[in-house]
Structures are given as structure tokens and as C-alpha cells.
Structure 1
Amino acid sequence: MNQIRAAIVILLIFLWTFVLIPPHLILRKIAPSQKYRLPLLFHKGLCKLLRIKVVVHGKPSEVHPTLFILNHISWLDIPVVGSFLKGSFVAKEEVASYPLVGYAATLQETIFIARTRPSVRNHKDGMQEHLENGDSIFLFPEGTSSNGLVLQDFKSAYFALAEKHIADKPLLVQPVTLAYSRMDKMYMSRNIMKKIAWVGDEELISHVWEFLKSGKVTAELRFHDPVTIDSYDSRKHMAADCQLKIAEGLSRAMTHRPEPK
């Protein structure tokens, strides 16, 4: 039964994608300022099909642009974040070659980079151009996905963007904790998290298939207070502070505690 449902979901995802591509291309051409409107709808639909309930805590920045800093757990992060925020993702360059996924990512103006410091520096101008156009960016400074329970160290090179000024003002940076806290009515355990977290060299297709056969998931976005580089001595200190805030948010999410007021 689970396999039949998983197969139906895959079919519906393909249909949903192809239905939205033509109007998105048209809207991008006639109203460029609305280029994120249909991607937002697309990701909301994906979350429905994937049976992901997104719960939001805190207040997301309404300043455009904002650099949203998030921890990275799974391929599911994309529809979860994309269903609530408008902007462009920064993704590893291999994603561009994924069938259909790569094309869909391109339609959302995803910035593809190699996960190396020279590549991050080389693509900084491209990301800067997005920001100067008023486009927010979603950045995963771990550089890879984690196991969903513990963060990996944030790479300070990713925070070079924060040193730039937009319209003579420091770029607003908002750390956001992304957490998967429940599957069905069960609190998340290490074994259950393996169905969600996509880590290491695990094959994507097999991971997607196993997830589709599992249960309903609760995903949380916990927004922390925005900051700017002016509050720190260096981007290294900024990276460490954002990592600490997100790690504390992840701990609270996994133990079902509210954010402090």
C-alpha cells in the first residue's frame, strides 16, 4: 500500500511541476518582480503532496533583501523553506544536472556553486547581484547536510556576503533554525530521522523513495533576531554566533520547547 501511495505521489509531483512551468515562464517575462510568486505556490503544493506540515515560530524579516542563514538536513529543506519565503537558494553545482530538479531550481534563480572556498569567493559577485536586485538569498553555511540532530561547523567564507553593503546599508542577516520534530504523532528519534536526513553519499532516488513510504512530517522554521556584520569583529565571529543561535533553536525544537521571548 505504501509503495502504491509513493508511486502516486511521484506522478502527482511531476504533474504539478509541468502544470506550473508555463505560467511561471510567462509571469517571469511580463512581471519580473513577481518571479517568486509561483515558486512559492509550487513549494506549498510539494509540501502538501509530501505530507509535510510547516510550523513557523518567530518573525521572518520583511526587509528585501535579507540573507537567510539556515542549517541543512535534507532535500526536503527546499520545499519547506520555499513554501514560506520568497528568494533564491544557493546549491551545490551538481544539483543543476539532476533531471527535472535542476531545471526547476534554475527557474527559481538558484545560484549553483562548488562547495569550496575559492568557488564561494568566485560566485560572490553573482550573489551580490541578486541582493542588489532586492532578492533575498537562502544560504546553508554548513556546506553539506547534517544528521538533523547536530549541526556541522558553519564556514565563515559563506558570510563574506554579509560584509557587503546594499544601498549603503549593511546587509540584514537572519539565522533560521530548520527542524523536523515529528513523524506522524511520534517525536523524532535517531532512527526516524534517518528517513528524513539525507547525508553522506546516500543515493538521492532511493532516499526519496523510502521517505515517500513513511509517514506525515512536522517541519519547523524558527526565526531568530536579524543581525548585521556591524555587530561583530569579523565574519568568523558572525558565523559562530549564527551557528550558536541555530543550534540552540534546534535543541529546543527537538525537545519541544518554545523559543524565548
Structure 2
Amino acid sequence: MTAGELWRPASGCGPACLPAGTDPAVPLARRVGRLLGVLGMLLAGVGLAALLPLLPARDRRAALRGWARGTLRALGVRLLVRGRPPRRRALLVANHVSWLDILAVLAVAPARMVAKREVRDWPLVGPLAAAAGTVFVDRSRPRDLPATVARVAAALRAGHSVAVFPEGTTWCGEAADCRPARGFRPAVFQAAVDAGVPVVPLRLNYRYAGDPTTLAAFLGEETLWQSVRRVLGARELTVSVGVTAALHPAAGADRRVLARAAESAIHLSPARPAPVGRVRPAHLVTAGGAVPLREVELDLAA
């Protein structure tokens, strides 16, 4: 594993990618109410952080799911799920648009997140992330990458799902030329190969009043508070989480090809439900090549 696989990408997105005329669409009183609700959920998260280590695994997942869904509701964000979330341990990978992505993933498939080291020091959020078993990555230390991948593999072997954003940075979610040039970083996919667990790609997208939007995107030099204010003022913001077919890598599968397969599943496949069933091809053929698979699960019934 090389230092070049470390997540240090940059997207081409900036202020020009954000929608023009983003004045608040809801009254001030509603925005204040949402803000107070979010603060209440963050305070509840502090108590949850102390409780999580004491809970059985199933109760811990249910508590995280409930907290994430409650926080989305407090923000005024509607959650739409397409597909059936995995019931067993898996490496969950998703495209990265916004800080809301973390809440969306936890609300659908509670998992241990992979996050940059700085998140550990964030007020309120940091203690909750640590208590939830987040795997923190120090991007300034390339030599630590193999150890990070080993920690992810260990968590998967222990029966925990782990979620990661392999693009390593946010982009607006609309313009293909804004995506990180190198696409999904392959390093973390080695953990799924080593642990013998499936990779489940999650497709995240946002709609405002029914139309695709970049309103939720968190880009460039924008501060978190600026992005939060824009979300608080949105009248009909929806985050959609599409659960695509699970990729089951064979022993010794190439993590780079597996990463390209997951990226293709998210960015190239249409987001529509599929019948429940199972197929057992020898390979999954994608734009990036053929990935040897033990099984592809078509479990996307809405």
C-alpha cells in the first residue's frame, strides 16, 4: 500500500456550484426552532455517547439510527431510502456531498464511520463519534495508512459495519467534472478483501422542492455554519439514499478494480428499485474492468 493512496484529493467545486439566490425559504421563527431542535439533538448525543459503549450491538445500532433520523427531522430534512439496507456486516461506501451525508448513512445503516482525525476534537460531535467507534484517519501521516486499513478490517471481522467516503472530499453532486480527479481511493477496499465481507455502495443525492440541488453541498472555503444556515432555511430538502447491489469480492481480489466497480455502481447505475433475488456471476463487469465476485445480491426492493 503506497502513500499515494492516502486521501488528499481536491474537488473542482467552489461557490459557483452552489444554487443562486439561496435566501431562506422558511420564516425566521421556523429557522430558530430548527436550530434549537438540532442543538437539543446534539446535547442528547452527548448523553448517547456515554451510553453507547454499554449497549448490546443491536440496541447500539437502533440508538444511532434513531438519533440520526431525529437530527435530520430537526434540520427539516426529509429522508428517502431506496433499496434494502444490509442486515449483516459490510463495508459501506458512498459519494460525498455534504456533512449531512454522515447523518443520512447512520439513519439508514448504522456503522462505524471513517473520519479525519480533526473530527475527534469537534465539540459535542467528537465525543459521540469516538463513542460510536469511529476510525480516525491522520491524513498528515501517510505511513499510518496500512494501520488504519488494518483497524477497519478488524472492525469488520468483529461483526461491525464500517462506512467510508472513498472520494475523500466533498463535491457538489451535480457536475461530473467537479469530482475528485482520481475517483474512489482504493486503500480502504483492501479491508473488505482481507475481512471477507461485501462492499455495499450507497448513492446519496439531494433534492430541493423535488428538483436536484446542490443546496446541501459543503464546498471549498465555506464554513460549516454557512452551510448549516442554508440547510436550516430550506423548505423542502430531501436526501435520498440508494442502496445498490452488494459486491462480494473473491479472496485476493484487486482493491483498485473493486473501488472502480463501487464507483461505477454509484455514479453510472440508475437509482431504481429492483426485484429481490440472487444471481451468481463469475465476474461483475464495469467501466473499470471485471471484478471477481462470489455473489451479487439484488436486494433492492423499495
State TM-score, norm by structure 2. Answer: 0.73
2:185 counterpart of 1:176: no
- Correspondences of 1:19-168 after superposition (within 5 Å): 19=44, 21-22=46-47, 25-26=50-51, 28-29=53-54, 31=56, 34-63=59-88, 65-115=89-139, 118-149=143-174, 150=176, 151-152=179-180, 153-165=183-195
The 1-side partners of 2:73 and 2:238 are apart by: 12
Query: Match of 2:164, as an amino acid?
Result: L
Higher helix proportion (structure 1 or 2) = 1
Query: Match of 2:268, as an amino acid?
Result: E
Segments of 4+ in structure 1 off by > 4 A?
none
Please point out which of 188, 211, 216 is paired with 1:196: 216
Query: Match of 1:125, as an amino acid?
Result: A
> Does the residue aligned with 1:154 lie in a helix, a strand or coil?
coil
State whether residues 114 and 162 of structure 2, in contact with CA within 8 Å, keep that contact through their aligned partners in structure 1: yes
State whether residues 24 and 35 of structure 1, in contact with CA within 8 Å, keep that contact through their aligned partners in structure 2: no
> Does the residue aligned with 1:124 lie in a helix, a strand or coil?
helix
Please point out which of 249, 254, 258 is paired with 1:229: 249
> Which deviates more from structure 2 when the two are superposed, residues 16-25 or residues 69-78?
16-25
Structure-2 change in CA distance of 1:141 and 1:27 (3 Å): closer
State whether residues 34 and 76 of structure 2, in contact with CA within 8 Å, keep that contact through their aligned partners in structure 1: no
Aligned to 2:36: 11
State TM-score, norm by structure 1. Answer: 0.84
Residues 18-66 of structure 1: per-residue CA shift (max 9 Å, x gap) = 2354356345325355322211111010111112222222222222x21
State whether residues 162 and 173 of structure 1, in contact with CA within 8 Å, keep that contact through their aligned partners in structure 2: yes
Unaligned 5+ runs, structure 1? none
State whether residues 202 and 244 of structure 2, in contact with CA within 8 Å, keep that contact through their aligned partners in structure 1: yes
> Does the residue aligned with 1:43 lie in a helix, a strand or coil?
helix
The 1-side partners of 2:223 and 2:171 are apart by: 15
The 2-side partners of 1:232 and 1:126 are apart by: 19
Query: Match of 2:34, as an amino acid?
Result: V
Percent identity over paired residues: 24
Aligned to 1:239: 259
The 1-side partners of 2:144 and 2:84 are apart by: 32
> Does the residue aligned with 2:67 lie in a helix, a strand or coil?
helix
Q: What RMSD over aligned residues (CA atoms) do the two structures have, in Å?
A: 2.3
The 1-side partners of 2:191 and 2:139 are apart by: 16
Query: Match of 1:196, as an amino acid?
Result: A
Q: How many residues align?
A: 244
Unaligned 5+ runs, structure 2? 1-25, 276-302
Shift of residue 260, structure 1, vs aligned partner: 5.8
The 1-side partners of 2:273 and 2:45 are apart by: 36
